[in-house]
C-alpha cells in the first residue's frame, strides 16, 4: 500500500511520517508525565512514604540545590570522573597490550588460559577491599580498582579479535606474499578494532561502577560517597538527583563512545566509509593535479 503512495507523492509520505513521529513523541511524553504525576500525587496522598520514595518535585528541587545553590556536586563529580578516565585509560592500555601479546603468542596463551578462566569467574569488583587494604585510602587504590575492573573486557576482546582471523582471507594474504606487517595492518587490525572498541565501551561503563564501589568503601569523596552520605541522612531526594546525574553521565559515555567508534572503526559504518573515501578521493585528486 505504501509503495504506490511513495512513488506518487514522496512529499506526502514524508509529511505523514513526520506527523506520526511527532504523535509518538507526544504519546511517550504523555505516558512519562502521567507516571511522574502519579508518583507525585501518590506521595502527596500518602501511598508512598516520602521519606523513602522522594517526590519528583523534591528531586527537582535538590537538583537545583546540589548543582546551583550549594554547587557541591561539581567537586565530587570531578573527583569521580577524573579517576574513572585515568583508570579506564590505564586499564585499557594494559588490557589491549596484554591481549595482543597473548593473542599473538600461542605458548603464552596455553599457559595463561586457566588463570584467565579463574579471573573471569571472580567478581572483580570484589577485590576492592583487598586493594584498599594493600594500597591504602586515597586515589591510588581507587585507580587500581578501576583499572582492574576495566582491564578484562578489552583484554578478552583484543584476544578474540586477534585470534579469530578469517582463515580464507589469511590464505589469500599468504598466497599474495603479504609480509607479516601487512597481514597485521591490513587484515588483523581492521577485523579486531571494532571488537576492541566494543570492549572499551564495556570497560568505560565498568569503570564508572568500579569507581562507585571504591567510593562506597572509602567514603571520602566522589559521587558514590555523596550518594551514600545522602542516603544515610535519609535525604533521598538528593540521593536520587545524584543517581539521575549518573544516568545522564552514563548516557553521555554511551553516546561519546559511539562517536569515537564512528571515527576509529569508520569502516564498520556506511557514513564513516563515505566520509573517509571522500577525503581520500580529494587527497588523490590533489596529487593528480600536482602531477
Partner 1 sequence: MSAQKLPTSFWIFDFIFKVLPHLILFSLIIGLWEMAVSYGMITSIIIPRPSRIGSAIVKLYITEGTIYRHFFITLTESVVGFLIGASVAISLAVCSSLSENFKRYVIPYAVVLNVTPGIALTPVIIAWFGYGMGSKIALAAIISFFPIFVNTLTGLVQVDEDREELFQSLGATNYQVFSKFRVPAALPLMFAGLKIGLTTALIGAVVAEFAQATDGVGVLMSRFSFQLNMAASLATLLSMTLIGLLLFYTMEFLDDRIVFWRRENRRAAASRARARVWKKQLDNT
Interacting residue ranges for partner 1, rule: CB under 8 A? 24, 28, 31, 52, 111, 114, 118, 120-123, 125-130, 132-135, 205, 208-209, 212-213, 216-217, 223-224, 227-228, 230-232, 234, 236, 239-240, 242-244, 246-247, 250-251, 253-254
16-25 CB burial, b ≥16 within 10 A, e <16: eeeeeeeeee
- Our CA angle for 90, 94, 96, nearest 5°, is 115
- Our CA angle for 76, 122, 157, nearest 5°, is 80
Specify the residue, 41 or 254, whose C-beta has the smaller distance to partner 1.
Answer: 254
CB of 211 to partner 1, least distance (A): 9
Specify the residue, 203 or 208, whose C-beta has the smaller distance to partner 1.
Answer: 208
Specify the residue, 147 or 188, whose C-beta has the smaller distance to partner 1.
Answer: 147
Residue 156 contacts residue 199 (beta carbons within 8 Å) = yes
Rounded distance between C-alpha atoms, residue 270 and residue 72, angstroms: 44
Q: Within 10 Å of residue 216's Cβ, how many Cβ atoms?
A: 14
CB of 178 to partner 1, least distance (A): 30
Specify the residue, 131 or 162, whose C-beta has the smaller distance to partner 1.
Answer: 131
Residue 122 contacts residue 160 (beta carbons within 8 Å) = no
Specify the residue, 188 or 242, whose C-beta has the smaller distance to partner 1.
Answer: 242
Rounded distance between C-alpha atoms, residue 220 and residue 202, angstroms: 26
Specify the residue, 251 or 267, whose C-beta has the smaller distance to partner 1.
Answer: 251
Question: How many angstroms separate the most distant Cα atoms in the chain?
Answer: 81
CB of 140 to partner 1, least distance (A): 12
CB of 249 to partner 1, least distance (A): 8
Rounded distance between C-alpha atoms, residue 87 and residue 81, angstroms: 10
CB of 6 to partner 1, least distance (A): 21
CB of 227 to partner 1, least distance (A): 5
- Record the cell numbers describing residue 252, joined without a space: 553521555
Amino acid at each position: 500500500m505504501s509503495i504506490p503512495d511513495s512513488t506518487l507523492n514522496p512529499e506526502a509520505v514524508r509529511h505523514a511520517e513526520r506527523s506520526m513521529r511527532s504523535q509518538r513523541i507526544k504519546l511517550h511524553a504523555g505516558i512519562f508525565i502521567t507516571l511522574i504525576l502519579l508518583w507525585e500525587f501518590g506521595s502527596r496522598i500518602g501511598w508512598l512514604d516520602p521519606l523513602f520514595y522522594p517526590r519528583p518535585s523534591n528531586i527537582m528541587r535538590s537538583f537545583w540545590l546540589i548543582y546551583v545553590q550549594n554547587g557541591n556536586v561539581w567537586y565530587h563529580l570531578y573527583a569521580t570522573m577524573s579517576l574513572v578516565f585515568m583508570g579506564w585509560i590505564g586499564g585499557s592500555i594494559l588490557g589491549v597490550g596484554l591481549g595482543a601479546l597473548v593473542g599473538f603468542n600461542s605458548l603464552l596463551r596455553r599457559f595463561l588460559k586457566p588463570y584467565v578462566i579463574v579471573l573471569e569467574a571472580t567478581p572483580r569488583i570484589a577485590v576492592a577491599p583487598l586493594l584498599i587494604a594493600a594500597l591504602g585510602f586515597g586515589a591510588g587504590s581507587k585507580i587500581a580498582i578501576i583499572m582492574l575492573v576495566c582491564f578484562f573486557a578489552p583484554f578478552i576482546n583484543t584476544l578474540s579479535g586477534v585470534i579469530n582471523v578469517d582463515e580464507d582471507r589469511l590464505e589469500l594474504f599468504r598466497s599474495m606474499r603479504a609480509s607479516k606487517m601487512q597481514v597485521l595492518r591490513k587484515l588483523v587490525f581492521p577485523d579486531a578494532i571494532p571488537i576492541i572498541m566494543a570492549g572499551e565501551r564495556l570497560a568505560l561503563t565498568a569503570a564508572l561502577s568500579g569507581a562507585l564501589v571504591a567510593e562506597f568503601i572509602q567514603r571520602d569523596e566522589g559521587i558514590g560517597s555523596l550518594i551514600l552520605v545522602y542516603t544515610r541522612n535519609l535525604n533521598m531526594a538528593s540521593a536520587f538527583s545524584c543517581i539521575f546525574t549518573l544516568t545522564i553521565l552514563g548516557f553521555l559515555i554511551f553516546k561519546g563512545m559511539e562517536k569515537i567508534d564512528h571515527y576509529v572503526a569508520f569502516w564498520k559504518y556506511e557514513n564513516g566509509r563515505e566520509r573517509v573515501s571522500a577525503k581520500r578521493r580529494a587527497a588523490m585528486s590533489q596529487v593528480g593535479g600536482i602531477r
